[in-house]
Every structure is written in C-alpha cells, then in structure tokens.
Amino acid sequence: MTPEKVLAMAKEQGAKVVDIRFMDFPGIWQHFSVPVSELEVSSFDDGFGFDGSSIRGWQPINASDMLVVPDATTAKMDPFFKEPTLVLIGNIVDPLTRESYTRDPRHIAQKAEAYLKSTGIGDTVFIGPEAEFFIFDDVRFDSAANGAFYELDSVEGTWNTGRDEGPNLAYKPRHKEGYFPVPPTDKFQDLRSDMMLTLEKLGIDVECQHHEVATAGQAEIDMRFKPLMQMSDQLVWFKYVLKNVATQYGHTVTFMPKPLFEDNGTGMHTHVSIWKDDAPLFAGDKYAGVSQEALYAIGGILKHCKALCAITNPTTNSYKRLVPGFEAPVNLAYSSRNRSAAIRIPMYSSSPKAKRIEFRTPDPSCNGYMAFSAILMAVLDGIENKIDPGDPLDKNIYDLPPEELAEIESAPGSLDEALAALTEDHEFLLKGDVFTKDVIDMWIDYKMENEVNPVKLRPHPHEFFLYYDI
C-alpha cells in the first residue's frame, strides 16, 4: 500500500484519528495519536517526533529527540477504539542523520530479512509461532519492601471446585487435563472465537484456536506462517487483540510463561522454513524427509541455543517453565514427532512445502522482531558453517537413565545464565550488522539491571514457608 492509498483508505473508512505505533526495546507496543488532518503524504517521509529518553532501553535524556516514520504497508483500522482510528506501525530514525535506529526491534527484523537474501541461501524465511496464553478472571499482586504476593483466579481453576459460586456448576479442568475438552468444561470457546475472528478481520490468517493443557483457561491460537517481518508485525497485533477482546468480556490475558505453580507453562513453539525461488529449502531425503540444509539449520540452533534463550526466553519467569525433568523442551536435541526435544520435525504432512523445523524452547514473553531474527541468524550460521546437529533422539527423553541424560546438553536454567551465554556467544548475531554490539550490550545491561538483579534481591514468599522458623 502506498501513502496515497493509505490516505484514501482513511477517508473511505471515515477515520478521525491516526494511531502511530512502534515496539520498544523489551517488547511492548507503544503509541500516540494525531488527528487525521495531520496525516499527509509527506508524513511517510518526515515522520513524527517523540521523546526517545522515555522509552525503555533507548536514548539518554541529552539526546532524546527521535522520529517514528509510518510504514504505509502496515495500515489497519483499529477494532476497539470508539472513534474510527487508522493504525500505522512506524520505523524509528534519528532526526539529524535520518539513519535507522539500531535499537529499533523492527529495524533488526528488516536487516535480518536483508541478510538472508545477501547470503544467497534463500530469499524468504517463513515463521509460524504457536503462542500460548492464559485467560484469568482476577489478578492481584504487589511487591513492596515489607511484603510481596500474587493471586490469580479463574472460573475454570481446578482449585475452585469447592467454592460457593451460587451455584458452583463444576466442570473445571484438572491440572494438566485441559487439552481439547468440549464445553461446558471449556468455558472460553466463544471468547477465543471472537479473538480469532477479530484477527481475521484485520487480515491475519488463523489456522485454529483451542484450549491448552493447563487448568484455568490456558489457550492457544495459531496464526498461519508468514515471512519474518510480516509475522513480527502480526505478533504485536495478536497480543493486542487478545488482551483487548478478553477485557471486553471481563477477563484478562497474560503471555507470562509460568503464572501457575504445578501446571503447564506457556510456550511459543516456533516453526521455521527457508525458501528460494518459490521452492522449499528444507525438504529433502535425509532424516524425517528434510534436507541437509535443514539439518545444518538445526545444528545452528542447537549450537547457539543457550545464547538464543536470552532473546527468545527473555524474562526471569521464562525459566520457571524451562526446568529439566518437567516436560519442558530444555534438552538440546532434535527428533521427528518427539515433543520432548528442543527441536522437532513435524510429520503432519509429507508435502515438501510443509517441511520445516520447530524450535520448541521459545516463549511468548519475547520481542518477536528480535527473537525471530535471532533464530534466523542461528539457522543461517548453521547452514553457512555446515554445523552437524549429531544424531536425532527418538527416545522419550524423560524415560532416559541418568547416565544417558547427562550426555544431553540443556538450555540455561536462569535468565542470568542465558545472558552470560549471550555475552560469550553473539558473533553470529552481528553478521550483516543485523544485531549491533550496542544492541547486545544494552540488552544484557538492561535485563541484568531491571530484571535479574531486582528479582535476586527480593525475598521470595516461599522462603518464609521454608525458613521463617529457623
């Protein structure tokens, strides 16, 4: 879509407001609005000014002025605002040099796609994330100097079987038994369908929606695979739509990886395939019907997985899900069909076009622009350097004897471990200037200062249960 077509679209849709949006460094959508009269063809070159020092991980206060330049191809009408509102996603540039901002996650994704083409390996990388989430009815938490707590509730929560609900109609999925039950046990069919149909109205293709394994409203809605940049833009729309539809129903959605103790966490299994000249590069005659390039791609992810986790699993809470021995994809191995491996080769279809690899470790707390780009860079490093992934592991990892399990490497056990791995292993991310050293350093510093250390310094409520009477 051209700027002229965007203006025509705004007029046709009766837009009164233009909402300019961009992704901050940690991965939260930001926005501001202008009257539609302020949007001109020149706006798509001139951009709109804002204070970059107020955005997390960005500019110092002495160099705060930034520009966000709308991308005409991203134009959509917002489905929630009272007044008809045209939404445009923008790219961040320096107002003096007009250079793209290195810490703009969207710019990183643009460079990742450009680097793929420059290698000659392929021209398109398709990304298909399976972003899980929880739907809760009530969420309360606090963290102060003299106390901390959280409490979640859901009409579906198995802990509420004895609650007086006037009347309690039961049908609450037990722990780890929430996968695919029909209503009335599944109480969120209509809500998820509304989410799915809202996404489709925005032009986002959806493959399915369903209840997930955990009690208390865990769910999944799968978007159809798209090129990396398009999927990155869609993922922020995805989170925005799900949160707002849930709010309209009096519920709340979280993509936090591990909100519940003793039940399944929330992952984002990410499917990846590279194509060249409209032909799938990952289809072949090797193990599970994949190509040698696909095996090298797996080798790249397995080699760099510990560093990748700092970007694909970027919260301290991520590692409450990635715990060895609890059905989490922490073991750095690959397999066909075996869902206990970090990388799976899906076997649903024999079509060459369906051949892809599924990286199961990531979770949806990540910044999609950066996570998908980092995964692609690991894949390309594997192909370029012919990294051997070793033999597949088709046994159930959780049934292996300790001596065999000890030979399989694991993902990091904490965010600080992942950040330490990224400190030591990030050269593959710097190729093509996709991730700059400045981005890596700021990411590590920001995460340590704002997340890792604050969590380390605070007493945990369970410590009082364990130690108060010492």
DSSP letters along 220-278, please?
Answer: EEEEPPEEHHHHHHHHHHHHHHHHHHHHHTT-EEE--S--STTS----EEEEEEEEETT
Please say if 38 is a catalytic residue: no
Please say if 132 is a catalytic residue: yes
Candidates 78, 113, 130, 293; catalytic one = 130
Candidates 19, 186, 194, 220; catalytic one = 220
Q: Find all residues with CB under 8 Å of 134, minimum gap 6, and list them.
A: 154, 214, 216, 217, 218, 219, 253, 254, 256, 259, 260, 266
Candidates 358, 363, 381, 416; catalytic one = 358
Please say if 207 is a catalytic residue: no
Candidates 71, 132, 156, 293; catalytic one = 132
Please say if 358 is a catalytic residue: yes
Please say if 304 is a catalytic residue: no
> How many C-beta neighbours within 10 Å does residue 86 have?
25
Please say if 404 is a catalytic residue: no
Of 270, 272, 398, give the one whose Cα is nearest residue 326. 398
The number of C-alpha atoms within 13 Å of 381 and in the hemisphere containing its C-beta is: 24
Please say if 269 is a catalytic residue: yes
Please say if 407 is a catalytic residue: no
Candidates 271, 304, 344, 360; catalytic one = 360
DSSP state of 182: P
Residue 292: burial class (beta carbons within 10 Å; 0-12, 13-18, 19+) = middle
Please say if 156 is a catalytic residue: no
Candidates 19, 24, 104, 212; catalytic one = 212
Candidates 98, 224, 339, 458; catalytic one = 339
Catalytic residues: 51, 130, 132, 212, 220, 269, 339, 358, 360
